[in-house]
Amino acid sequence: MHEEIIMAGFGGQGIMSIGQLLAYSGMIKGLDVSWMPSYGPEMRGGTANCTVIVSDSRIASPLTSKPDSVIVMNLPSQDKFSPKVKEGGLVVTNSSLIDKEVEREDLEVIKVPANEIANELGNTRVANMIMLGAYLARKEIIDLDTVKESLTSVLPERHHDLIPLNEKALDRGFELVNEEVTV
């Protein structure tokens, strides 16, 4: 197993956190992992992205030019990263904020109304977890329980009261995809 994922969105959408959460969960499972953020000067309003690699063998480069999957939370990210996905790869897109179709026939696209579901749950900020949940339902590289267990280690302590909400958000994203598949 070797999975290369790029996650991208606005700064503040929690992109870096879900990347770290996935990498941490992979590590708990005994896999090799890497997490590489894009970094820029302290200027606001930009996009943020990170590359996560999870593998059962030694990871060479922590970068990827052809990811297996991308999780995109805003339009600029979808425009930038969906053309890079490997042939037949996966795009998990935030349909709450992106109403443009992915312009490639070969890709599998999962549309997740992440902001809407997050609002239903009472906090827009867990939209990222819904996206990750949806991704994990499709790509079973790590089980959901391990990811949930990892929340305590990855989230800063001041946000630990939000762990139940984050777990619920992961579940909602996960269920969304599973329902789609069975319907």
Partner 1 sequence: MAERVLMKGNEAIGEAAIRAGCRYFFGYPITPQNDIPAYMSRELPKHDGVFLQAESEVAASNMVYGAAGSGARVLTSSSSPGISLKAEGLSYIAGAELPCVVVNIMRCGPGLGGIQPSQGDYFQATKGMAHGDFHLIVYAPSTVQELVDLTYKAFDTADRYRNPVMVLGDGMLGQMMEPVEFMEPLDPADLPKKEWATDGAKGRDTNVINSLALAPEELEAMNKKLENKYKKVKANEVMHEEYRMEDAEIAVVAYGTSARISIKAIDMARERGIKVGLIRPITLYPFPEKEVAATCDQIKKYLTVEMSTGQMIEDVRLAVNGRRPVEFFGRLGVVFEAEEVLERLIAMGGEIQ
Partner 2 sequence: MKKIASYPDSLTEKHFHYCPGCTHGTVHRLIAEIMDELDIREETIGVAPVGCAVLAYEYFDCDMHEASHGRAPAVATGIKRVHPDKVVFTYQGDGDLASIGTAEIVHAANRGENITTVFINNAIYGMTGGQMAPTTLEGQKTTTSPYGRNLKEAGNPIKMTEMLSALDGPSYIARVSVHTPKHIRKAKKALKKAFQRQLDGRGFTLIEVLSTCPTNWGITPKDALNWLEEYMMPVYPLGDLKDIEEVE
Q: Which two tokens stand for residue 106?
A: 């070969």
Q: Is 63 in the site for partner 1 (CB under 8 A)?
A: yes
Q: Are 121 and 141 in contact (CB under 8 A)?
A: no
Pairing verdict, β 47-55 and 2-10 = antiparallel
Give residue 143's identity as a one-letter amino acid code: D
Q: Is 39 in the site for partner 1 (CB under 8 A)?
A: yes
* Contact window for partner 1 (CB under 8 A) among 54-62, 90-98, 108-116, 172-180: 54-62
Q: Which of residues 92-131 bind partner 1 (CB under 8 A)?
A: none
Residue 57: strand, helix, or coil? coil
Tell me which of 43, 44, 60, 182 binds partner 1, using CB under 8 A: 60
Q: Are 107 and 91 in contact (CB under 8 A)?
A: yes
Measured from the CB atom, the residue of 30 and 45 that comes closer to partner 2 is 45
Measured from the CB atom, the residue of 12 and 83 that comes closer to partner 2 is 12
Would you tell me which residues interact with partner 2 (CB under 8 A)? 41-45
